[in-house]
Amino acid sequence: AAQAIGKIPLDVQTMNIDLLSLTAHKIYGPKGVGALYVRRRHPRVKLAPQIHGGGHERGMRSGTLYTPQIVGFGKAVEVAIAEMESEAKQLTTLRQQLWEKLQTVENIFLNGHPTQRLPGNLNISVEGVDGQALLLGLQPVVAVSSGSACTSAKIAPSHVLAALGRSEKLAYASVRFGIGRFNTAEEIDLVAEHAIATITSLRQATQSQKSKVKS
């Protein structure tokens, strides 16, 4: 839900959601503030407080409320929902532009469904290339990740990619591109050009090393 708000429609009733967590910075709001939806009926979800003290937030989370952050979060939600449809179309177009350009290189695989995905998310696996090496090669030009921000520090390959049927080798060879509200078609071209050059260079280096080992 934290990734989905403002990007795809969310309805807690029709989707039968019991708990839903949101964070402001995912929709260009202030960092450090979020929200938790808790179903109150049919059935009611009961929670125990993790932070005790003054009884704020109906006793669920004590501590002085950071009003400026909350107001900023609320405004970010308003903007995200108002622009969701047009922004989703724009991000989908840019994502497809990037994917089409990357496909000019052999043995690059899309992770996830071609269309049933977040508009600005492109996750790929590149055969014959280590994901961390590709990440380092891209970083001078592109802000890119080898996984989600909350799990990218883990050494193990993504369990999500494993569940999608990717081999361990391809799971390690994955990178995620996140396209945002302020990105342009020109930037997508730059990213694609640099990514293709980096992939080609890494594959050539790997092949050269294999040849040396054989000789």
- The domains of the chain, with CATH numbers, are 19-82 (no CATH), 84-214 (3.90.1150.10)
Confidence of residue 143 (pLDDT cuts 50, 70, 90): confident
pLDDT tier at 149 (50, 70, 90 boundaries)?
Answer: very low
Q: Residue 148: its pLDDT value, please?
A: 52
Structural tokens at position 76:
């970010």
Model's pTM, two decimal places?
A: 0.83
pLDDT value of residue 11: 92
Strands (E), 97-178: 108-110, 121-126, 174-178
**What is the average pLDDT across 157-168?**
87
Give the residue, 131 or 154, on which the prediction is more confident: 131
pLDDT at 26: 94
Percent of the chain with pLDDT over 70: 93
Write down the mean pLDDT value for the chain.
89
The percentage of residues in the chain with a pLDDT greater than 90, rounded to a whole number, is: 56
Going from the C-alpha of 13 to that of each of 10, 42, 47, 84, 124, the distances in angstroms are 9, 10, 19, 20, 33
From 150, 153, 163, 213, the catalytic residue:
150
The yes-or-no verdict on residue 23 having pLDDT over 90 is yes
What are 100-109's pLDDT values in tens digits? Answer: 999 999 999 9
The arithmetic mean of pLDDT across residues 195-199, rounded, is: 95
**DSSP readout, 15-37?**
TT-SEEEEEGGGGT--TT-EEEE
pLDDT tens, residue by residue, 28-72: 999 999 999 999 888 788 888 888 888 888 778 888 889 999 999
Instruction: Name the residue among 117, 37, 122 with its Cα closest to residue 77.
Output: 37
Give pLDDT, residue 154: 56
What DSSP element (H or E) covers 210?
Answer: helix 185-214
- What type of residue sits at position 127? E
48 is catalytic: no
Task: Examine the pLDDT at 204 and tell me if it is beyond 60.
Answer: yes
Q: Which of 142-151, 174-183, 192-201 has the lowest mean pLDDT?
A: 142-151
Close Cβ partners of 175 (under 8 Å, ≥ 6 residues apart): 123, 124, 126, 131, 134, 135, 138, 144, 145, 146
Helix (H) / strand (E) element for 147: namely none
